[in-house]
Amino acid sequence: MIKPAYWMARSQVINPDEYLEYVKRAGPASREYGAEILSRGGRFELLEGTLQFQRFVLVKYPSFDAAMDFYHSQAYREAAAFRLGGAGINELVIVEGEDSG
């Protein structure tokens, strides 16, 4: 059985306008790869660690390969260019989940 994968990002937004452009492009493009956005920029409370990041994103993909395919896609590279141009600092990890069955 194919296991789902989770895209987990922590961000510090520096330029909100440029970062918003990234969000507007990346979200819709991710759905073409089966993404289900579970959390994006919602309420949070830091329980341990330091507060470097203020925006947290969790996206579920049908498989690890689907998440990696999106990350390496032309659509994501074009969207990420807005963020990578100085709109924010980001940490991103894709982790394989467990079977739900």
CATH of the domain at 69: 3.30.70.100
User: What is the value of pTM for the model shown?
Assistant: 0.89
Residue 16 forms part of a structural domain: yes
Q: Would 101 be classed as within a structural domain?
A: no
| Structural domains counted in the chain | 1
Question: pLDDT, tens digit, for every residue of 9-68?
Answer: 999 999 999 999 999 999 999 999 999 999 999 999 999 998 999 999 999 999 999 999
Query: In the chain, count of helices (H) and strands (E)?
Result: 3, 4
Structural domain of 62: 5-44+51-96
Query: What amino acid is encoded at 57 in this protein?
Result: V
Confidence of residue 100 (pLDDT cuts 50, 70, 90): low
Q: Which residues of 6-17 are buried (b: 16+ CB within 10 A; e: fewer)?
A: bbbbebebeeee
Burial label for 19, CB within 10 Å (0-12, 13-18, 19+), is buried
pLDDT of residue 1: 85
Question: Is 8 within 8 Å of 95 (Cβ atoms)?
Answer: yes
**Amino acid in the structure at residue 12:** Q
